[in-house]
């Protein structure tokens, strides 16, 4: 199966610090989606990126798709305790029928 | 807001037993999916289902697994003879279409424990 790698695997930050997770694929992606999974919860869709170099913002979250469409990043500005969870990128096949989730980055925010 | 539901929330079974996990996708969605997540690991794709047949499946989805849409609302995952390594969280998801740009909505999951 396809491998979508994310780094770092874990990140501990003080509340108010910024956080970034990176998603890398060995193949060119048609699009990429980001999900958040709270501890004990299920994945919840955050955003989708389709175009090369695309940047989208949701309040304190900034998502970027690489120019070559092989990598993506999620940046959170001034983290809050509500940001705690695991952030997954998901690579979608062209048919749209298989999602390959990345390895995830677990974010801990220390108050 | 409509949501995907799953039952039971937790299933405990003995190794070798059959289990059926149930899901009710969002009503106007046409594509259905099963994923599993072993504790502390990433979410892994198992199978996608459309128009009463499997659309795609992963290497994990072997002959021990089957899916069915027995009526107009339920979508089930059956594991014929459970193994210890089947212990995981199983998530059902649905989407309006199978387009790669479509959003998948996940259910709350069923935690399967095989003893």
pLDDT in tens, B53-107: 998 899 999 999 999 998 878 999 999 999 999 999 999 999 987 666 678 899 9
Backbone angles phi, psi at B100, to 5 degrees: -65, -15
B8-63 pLDDT tens trace: 999 999 999 999 999 999 998 999 999 999 998 889 999 999 989 998 899 999 99
Task: Lowest mean pLDDT of A50-64, A88-102, B29-43, name the range.
Answer: A88-102
Average the pLDDT over A64-68 and give the result. Answer: 95
Contact B98 A45 (CB under 8 A): no
DSSP B103: P
Is the model's pLDDT at A27 over the cut of 90? no
Query: Which of A1, A31, A102 is facing B100, going by the closest CB pair?
Result: A31
What mean pLDDT, rounded, does chain A reach?
91
Q: If residue B90 lies in a helix (H) or strand (E), which one and from where to where?
A: strand B88-95
Tell me how far CA of residue B115 lies from CA of B21, B58, B111, in angstroms: 17, 25, 13
Q: Give the per-residue pLDDT at A30.
A: 83
Q: Is the pLDDT of residue A95 over 70?
A: no
Percentage of chain A surpassing pLDDT 90?
Answer: 77
Q: Any CB–CB contact under 8 A between B51 and chain A?
A: no
Rounded to a whole number, what is the distance in Å from the CA of B7 to chain A's nearest CA?
14
Residue A51 has pLDDT above 60, yes or no: yes
Closest partner CB to A98 (pick from B42, B45, B108): B45
Of A22, A20, A18, A24, the C-alpha closest to A2 is A24
Pairing, β B10-13 against β B110-114? parallel
Average pLDDT over residues A26-43: 90
Predicted confidence at residue B2, as pLDDT, reads 82
With a cut of 90, say whether residue A31 has pLDDT above it.
no
Q: What pLDDT sits at residue A8?
A: 96
Strands (E), B27-69: 31-37, 44-50, 53-57, 65-68
Instruction: Report the C-alpha gap between B66 and B78 in whole angstroms.
Output: 5
pLDDT (0 to 100) of residue A99: 79
């Amino acid at each position: 199966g396809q491998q979508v790698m994310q780094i770092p695997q874990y990140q501990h930050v003080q509340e108010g610090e910024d956080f970034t997770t990176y998603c890398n694929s060995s193949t060119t992606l048609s699009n990429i989606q980001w999900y958040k999974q709270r501890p004990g919860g299920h994945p919840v869709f955050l955003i989708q990126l389709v175009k090369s170099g695309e940047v989208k913002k949701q309040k304190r979250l900034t998502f970027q798709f690489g120019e070559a469409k092989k990598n993506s990043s999620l940046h959170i500005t001034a983290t809050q305790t509500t940001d705690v969870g695991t952030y997954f990128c998901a690579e979608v096949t062209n048919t749209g029928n298989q999602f390959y989730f990345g390895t995830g980055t677990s974010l801990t925010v220390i108050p | 807001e409509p949501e995907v539901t799953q039952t039971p929330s937790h299933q405990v079974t003995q190794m070798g037993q059959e289990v059926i996990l149930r899901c009710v996708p969002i009503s106007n969605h046409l594509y259905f999916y099963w994923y599993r997540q072993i504790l502390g690991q990433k979410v892994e794709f198992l199978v996608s289902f459309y128009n009463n047949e499997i659309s795609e499946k992963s290497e994990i989805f072997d002959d021990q697994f089957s899916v069915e849409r027995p009526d107009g609302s339920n979508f089930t995952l059956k594991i014929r003879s459970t193994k210890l390594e089947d212990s995981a969280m199983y998530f059902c998801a649905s989407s309006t279409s199978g387009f790669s740009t479509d959003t998948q909505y996940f259910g709350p999951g069923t935690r399967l424990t095989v003893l």
